Amino acid sequence: MRTRRVLKLNLVFIIVLASQLLVGHVAICAAGDLSLEENTVWNSNWPQWHGPLGTGAAPLAQPPLKWSDETNLRWRVNLPGSGHSTPIVWGDKVFVLAAESTVEADPAQIEQARDGGFIGKRFGVERANHVYRFLVLCLSRSTGETLWQRTAAEQYPHEGVHQDHGYASASPTTDGEHLIASFGSRGIYCYDLDGTLIWSRDLGDMQTRFAFGEAASPALYGDVVVINWDHEDRSFITAIDKRTGDTLWRFDRDEDTTYATPLIIPAGGRMQVITNGHTAIRSYDLLTGELIWSAQGVGERPVSTPVSHEGLVYLASGFQRSFFKAIQLISRNKSDTDREVVWELDRHSPDIPTPLLSGDRLYFLSGAKAILSCHDAATGENLFGPIRLPGIRKVYASPIAANGRIYLLGRSGTCLVLKDADEVDVLAANRLDEHTDATPAVAGNQLFIRGDASLYCFEEE
């Protein structure tokens, strides 16, 4: 284990922060253990990656069943550049990140850019040929009009990226007051919702495995922003004060490249930060960064974000080998190092898409294929699957749930809508003429889908 380095926290800060977490910010919950009455504002929006509950489900949303370029289309806007990050929604605003190529890069820069030894189409890695402008956009939820746009940074990327990836893959997050946007090696930025920059941080340059790119989104709870920085050099996890940008704590991690976003949940009388990992699954104390517990890692370059439900946390990986475990959040032993595995699977676990938890059902895909399984979240009992879904083949977007339905978006632009039930019942198949890798977002009566070039807002007419 690498030496862990901790920045000492001021005792007064800890007391104040604990008070905010338990009282003042109780509605800003990333896990959904609080009642809907306490979370009405939070659950009415899509404020972060993987939805208001961190499960992929939106309990108060009622998006349309059917849509097309002509049906139930509220608006469609062209986005500058490209990106695979999910848009987030707060109130009357939609926030989205993008990376836009500008002037041609200096040939010497291109030659020096890291390619991980896997340059070329055969391996899917490409060096950038241009300088990029890293953009934060705020759109009107009602019209799609750009309310403001900010250039967070303008740089030449120091390493290549996989041809299916990009330079704006991390989703932003907001608490209704602060907007946190991460471009990874290009910096972490905090704006207010009117576009005023509050602070920015440069955490260095990542060296990702095979130069495939970066993707982990920031996690926000109370006044704390958590950034997971796993790569091929010196990995770490850090907590940043959302108001000032100051470092609260930082610990080194014995990890190679991962892409999974941390999950912040209450368990055992404190807030736990759960991270997926190759070497180990780990839980950190949100206030201090102390390692609470660890368990066996899930294999190489995990992408899937942890999901939690009623005292269990679910970790998955489907790259090269299948790994799916439901682990107790609170140990029954005095030692917190040996976690109880309640149930596990060794086949058909997801690679890129994160599992969806809707009620007591846990839905997940096999690798990145349109092969769906559904299990009872508490017991692991198979309810159906694995079943190949019609009309789509490959899936990068994570499934989401709303209004008694499951929305499963394929890479080709086709989205299947299934009944949220113990058996497969396809209610609709909707098609867009655009490549779609970003996970959709839902809020109120609206569904937001990001394509290669556009952002769509659909709403029942």
- The residue among 446, 431, 406, 404 whose CA lies nearest residue 64 is 446
Q: What is the pLDDT of residue 279?
A: 93
* Measured CA angle at 389 (ends 393, 386), to 5 deg: 105
pLDDT in tens, 256-273: 999 999 999 999 899 999
Reading the block at residue 330, the tokens are 């609170």
> What is the pLDDT averaged over residues 75-93?
97
Which pLDDT value is given to residue 122?
57
pLDDT of residue 250: 98
Percent of the chain predicted with pLDDT > 70: 89
Q: How far, in Å, CA of 438 to CA of 367, rounded?
A: 16
pLDDT score at 115: 83
* Higher-confidence position of 14 and 220: 220
pLDDT for the residue 300: 87
Give the Cα separation of 354 and 315 in Å (integer). 9
For the chain, the average pLDDT equals 89
Q: Distance between CA atoms of 416 and 282, rounded to whole angstroms? A: 34
* Tokens at 65, concatenated: 């069943």
Q: Nearest Cα to 4, choosing from 255, 241, 297?
A: 255
pLDDT band at 336 (very low <50, low <70, confident <90, very high): low
Start-end of CATH 2.130.10.10 domains in the chain: 63-84+355-461
What type of residue is 7?
Answer: L
Listed residue (321, 443, 378) closest to 46, CA to CA? 443
pLDDT at residue 134 above 90? yes
Q: Is the pLDDT of residue 426 over 80?
A: yes
238 close to 258: Cβ distance less than 8 angstroms: no
In DSSP terms, which residues pair with 373 in a beta bridge? 364
Q: Average the pLDDT over each of 75-89, 103-117, 164-178 and give the range with the smallest value.
A: 103-117
pLDDT of residue 7: 40
The least confident of 23-32, 55-64, 99-108, 229-238 is 23-32
User: For residue 79, what are the contacts with CB-CB under 8 A and spacing of at least 6?
Assistant: 96, 98, 137, 450, 453, 454, 455
**Residue 97: what are its φ and ψ, rounded to 5°?**
-110, 150
- Going from the C-alpha of 381 to that of each of 193, 323, 377, the distances in angstroms are 44, 16, 8
Statement: 63-84+355-461 belongs to CATH 2.130.10.10: yes
Q: How confident is the model at residue 72 (pLDDT cuts 50, 70, 90)?
A: very high
Nearest to 314 by CA among 278, 345, 288, 290: 345
The reported pLDDT for the residue numbered 37 is 40
Return the bridge partners of 457, or none: 75, 448
Phi, psi of 388 (to 5 degrees): -75, 130
232's tokens:
């091929």
Q: How far apart are CA 296 and CA 281, in angstroms?
A: 6
Find out whether 432 and 451 touch, Cβ atoms under 8 Å.
yes
More confident residue, 176 or 3: 176
Determine the average pLDDT of the residues in 69-94: 96
User: Looking at residue 451, what is its pLDDT?
Assistant: 97
- CA 420 vs. chain centroid, Å, equals 22
Q: Report the alpha-carbon distance of residue 51 to residue 113 in Å, rounded.
A: 35
What pLDDT sits at residue 119?
66
Give yes or no for a cis peptide into 87 (omega within 30° of 0): no
Q: What pLDDT is stored for residue 30 in this prediction?
A: 42
Q: Say whether pLDDT at 172 is over 70.
A: yes
Could you read off the pLDDT of 382-415 as tens digits, one per residue?
999 999 999 999 999 999 999 999 999 999 999 9
- The pLDDT-based confidence of 320 (bands split at 50, 70, 90) is confident
Binned at pLDDT 50, 70 and 90, residue 376 comes out as very high
pLDDT over threshold 70, residue 200: yes
Residues of the chain with CATH 2.40.10.480: 87-214
CATH number of this structure's domain 87-214 = 2.40.10.480
Average pLDDT value for residue range 89-116: 93
Nearest to 331 by CA among 394, 280, 276, 283: 283
Residue 218 predicted with pLDDT over 60 = yes
| pLDDT for the residue 299 | 84
**Predicted local distance difference test score (pLDDT) of residue 22:** 34
